[in-house]
Amino acid sequence: MVLKITKDMTFHQALLISPDVAQVLNQFNLGCVGCMGAVSESIAQGVKAHGLDVDEVITALNAIFED
């Protein structure tokens, strides 16, 4: 099974995939680990709310799984 994070996932779902997700989110100053919205807010919603590029964040998150 190939792991892939999508913009439609919630932050919580992505964080459950790998602990490295939190490190990548922190690089973008996204403190999603402690945010109550992490359970219900999609990555796309949260990233846009912070004025960031969704594709850039998703690319960085999926780079975790590249060898």
- For 10-43, the pLDDT digits (tens) are 998 998 999 899 999 999 988 766 667 777 889 9
How far apart CA 1 and CA 52 sit, in angstroms, is 29
pTM of the model: 0.87
Residue 31, both tokens: 């403190």
pLDDT score of 67: 67
CATH domain 18-65 topology: SP0561-like (1.10.3910)
Domain range summary for the chain, segments of one domain joined by +: 18-65
Residue 51 has pLDDT above 60, yes or no: yes
How far apart CA 57 and CA 44 sit, in angstroms, is 9
CA distances from residue 61 to 6, 18, 20 in whole angstroms, order as listed: 9, 10, 8
- For 2-14, the pLDDT digits (tens) are 589 999 999 989 9
In terms of C-beta density within 10 A (0-12 exposed, 13-18 middle, 19 or more buried), how is residue 16 classed?
exposed
Which among 65, 67, 33 is positioned nearest to 10, based on CA atoms?
Answer: 33
